[in-house]
Amino acid sequence: MAVDVRIDALLPHEMADKAEGIGVKKAEMPALEMFFLAILAGAFIALGAVFATTVAAGNTNWPYGVIKLLVGVSFSLGLILVIVGGAELFTGNNLIAMAWASRKVSTAALLRNWIIVYFGNLVGSIGTAMITFIARQYTFGGGAVGHTALAIANGKVHLGFWQAVALGVLCNALVCLAVWLTFSARSTVDKIAAIIFPIAAFVAAGFEHSVANMYFIPSGLLIKQFDPTFAANTGLDLSALTWGNFLLHNLLPVTLGNIIGGSLLVAGFYWVIFLRYNHKNSK
């Protein structure tokens, strides 16, 4: 069997073929394996969120953009762990739409992957939020970490529905572009380099990622619910920070936006550009 020994990056048309093949493998994965890998991905993204929240805490004297850049670079840890460590992330798996468009993955298989991975991500994210709450990590920095966590969660539930959709579209366009760029990589260093800037960009710009929000908002909710004295001492109006608002005013519209941004704007465009012609010729 011939072995590809090239060390240069794959070209975009080769990346498209690779994305299609990976999409088929992901769709055919056994359900239990898929679910556990999705739990890992949820935990990995949550760890990136923990890192980002900690970096953001107490930084009141730095320019807004500088703080956002540092937070974005810190959050990149999450996708680095997913891609290099191996896990199943709902937002990145929107790229399976390329294999679906080529009719190599059925609609049922596509939805099976998205549903299983989505709920696995939810378990991993909320589970990590519970562990960090029990560890009282939010009290670090004289309570600055917890204040920041509550402010982040509170801000997210105040977004308008269509605003949240649009922010979700922009976010997952960048996330899927980060994953897309890793398809060109020949080494672990290549993958990490490909991930950092798109992820830092979406975080710095304030875009909305459904799986990250599965950690950010429950983290704030846990502090509010189980340490009300701490929450009250922050001086924040947390009346809108509820589980209902988390699900209906943030997670639902952000998820819809993520699907549009990832499966249509990234997967759809690259399929039309690089794979549609091949699909037509194979009929």
Mean pLDDT for all residues in the chain:
95
Residue 138, domain extent: 12-274
CB 96 within 8 A of CB 110: yes
- Tally of domains in the chain: 1
2 belongs to a structural domain: no
CB 202 within 8 A of CB 209: yes
| Residues 6 or more apart in contact with residue 262 via CB below 8 angstroms | 91, 92, 94, 95, 97, 172, 173, 175, 176
For residue 68, being part of any structural domain is answered with yes
Which of 213, 236, 214 has the alpha carbon at shortest distance from 224? Answer: 236
Specify the pTM.
0.94
The residue-averaged pLDDT of 8-25 equals 93
Residue 77 reports pLDDT greater than 50: yes
Statement: residue 143 has pLDDT above 50: yes
Is the pLDDT assigned to residue 1 strictly greater than 50? no
Looking at the predicted structure, is the pLDDT value of residue 274 above 80? yes
The domain spanning residue 236 has which CATH number?
1.20.1080.10
pLDDT at 86: 96
| Percent residues over pLDDT 70 in the chain | 95
State the average pLDDT over residues 186-198. 96
Q: How far is CA 114 from CA 29, 35, 180, 190, 197, in A?
A: 12, 10, 18, 27, 26
The verdict on residue 140 lying in a domain is yes
Mean local confidence (pLDDT), 139-154: 97
Distance CA 215, CA 218 (A): 6
pLDDT in tens, 218-231: 999 999 999 999 99
Please check whether residue 177 lies inside any domain of the structure: yes
**Of 215, 177, 202, 219, which Cα lies nearest the Cα of 42?**
215
pLDDT band at 279 (very low <50, low <70, confident <90, very high): low
Residue 182: band (very low, low, confident or very high) from pLDDT cuts 50, 70, 90: very high
Position 257 pLDDT exceeds 90:
yes
Q: Is the pLDDT of residue 195 over 90?
A: yes
Does the pLDDT of residue 89 top 80, yes or no? Answer: yes
Question: How confident is the model over 22-65, as pLDDT tens digits?
Answer: 999 999 999 999 999 999 999 999 999 999 999 999 877 889 99
pLDDT at 83: 98
Residue 283 lies in a domain: no
